[in-house]
Amino acid sequence: MKAANTHIYFLGIGGIGMSALARYYKNLGYEVAGYDLTPSALTRQLENEGMHIHYHEEVSKIPPQTQWVVYTPAIPADNKELVFCLKNFTTIKRAELLGSLSREHNTIAVAGTHGKTSISALVAHLLKNAGKEITAFVGGITNNYKSNLILSPTTDIFVVEADEFDRSFLRLHPQVAIVSSMDADHLDIYQNHDALKSTFLEFASQVDPKGLLIYHHTLEKYFNKIPNKVSYGAYPEAGFSAKDICVQDHRFSFTIKTPEIEITDLWLQVPGLHYIENALAAVAAVSQFGLTPDEIKEGLSTFSGVERRFEIRKSTGSKVLIDDYAHHPEEIRVTIEAVKRLYPEKRILGLFQPHLYSRTRDFADDFAKALQTLDIVALLPIYPAREKPMEGVSSELLLTKMNHPAKFLVSKENLESFILSQNFDILLMMGAGDIGLMVTQIEKILALC
pLDDT of residue 78: 92
Note the pLDDT of residue 153. 86
Helices H / strands E in the chain, number of each: 14, 21
Cβ atoms of residues 322 and 351 within 8 Å: no
Report the pLDDT value the prediction gives residue 279, as an integer from 0 to 100. 97
Q: What does the pLDDT read at residue 182?
A: 93
How far is the CA of 205 from the CAs of 28, 79, 202, 227, in angstroms?
A: 32, 35, 5, 10
> What's the pLDDT at 267?
93
Would you state the pLDDT for residue 166? 81
Q: What is the per-residue pLDDT for 170?
A: 93
Q: Which residues of 1-22 are buried (b: 16+ CB within 10 A; e: fewer)?
A: eeeeebbbbbbbbbbbbbbbbb
pLDDT along the chain (449 residues), means of 10: 74 94 95 93 95 96 95 90 96 93 93 94 98 95 95 91 89 96 79 90 94 96 93 95 86 92 93 91 97 96 92 83 93 93 92 95 95 97 90 96 96 95 96 91 87
* Residues 10, 21 contacting (CB under 8 angstroms): yes
Query: Residue 247: its pLDDT value, please?
Result: 81
- DSSP secondary structure code for residue 133 in this structure: -
CA triple 416-417-422, angle to 5 deg: 100
Single-letter code of the amino acid located at 29: G
Q: Look at residues 319, 330, 271, 303 and name the one whose alpha carbon lies nearest to residue 428.
A: 319
Sign of CA dihedral 333, 214, 116, 202: negative
Alpha helices in 179-272 (DSSP H): 193-205
pLDDT of res. 259: 94
Find, among 128, 104, 138, the residue nearest to 21 by Cα: 138
Could you tell me which residues are beta bridge partners of residue 68?
A: 8, 90
Task: Decide if 305 contacts 143 (C-beta within 8 A).
Answer: yes
User: Looking at the DSSP assignment, which residues form a beta bridge with residue 246?
Assistant: 253
Query: Which pLDDT value is given to residue 191?
Result: 78
pLDDT of residue 104: 87
* Distance in angstroms (rounded) separating the CA atoms of residues 280 and 259: 12
Q: 406: closest CA among 431, 379, 441? A: 379
Calpha distance 393→358 (Å, rounded) = 8
Least Cα distance to 430 among 358, 350, 344, 340 occurs for 350
Supply the pTM of this predicted model: 0.87
How many whole angstroms separate alpha carbon 412 and alpha carbon 446?
Answer: 15
Nearest to 144 by CA among 121, 116, 120, 123: 121
Instruction: Output the pLDDT for position 1.
Output: 44
Kindly report the backbone phi and psi dihedral angles of residue 150, in degrees, each rounded to the nearest multiple of 5, phi listed first.
Answer: -115, 125
Q: Phi first, then psi: what are they for 263, rounded to 5°? A: -115, 115
User: Which CATH code for domain 7-94?
Assistant: 3.40.50.720
Starting at the edge strand found earlier in the chain, the sheet holding 31-35 runs: 52-54, 31-35, 7-11, 68-71, 90-93
How far apart are the C-alpha atoms of 310 and 335, rounded to whole Å?
7
Q: What is the pLDDT of residue 447?
A: 84
pLDDT at 244: 93
Q: How far is CA 188 from CA 163, 169, 362, in A?
A: 15, 17, 9
Cα–chain center distance at 117: 4
> Can you identify the CATH homologous superfamily of domain 311-446?
Mur ligase, C-terminal domain (3.90.190.20)
Torsion angle (degrees, nearest 10) of CA 361, 333, 405, 348: -130
- Identify the pLDDT of residue 225: 87
* The CATH fold of domain 103-302: UDP-N-acetylmuramoyl-L-alanine:D-glutamate ligase (3.40.1190)
Query: Is 216:181 a contact under the CB 8 Å cutoff?
Result: yes
Domain ranges of the chain: 7-94, 103-302, 311-446
At 5 the three-state DSSP class reads coil
- Spatial distance between the Cα atoms of 244 and 265, rounded to a whole number of angstroms: 9
Specify which residues 216 forms β-bridges with: 232
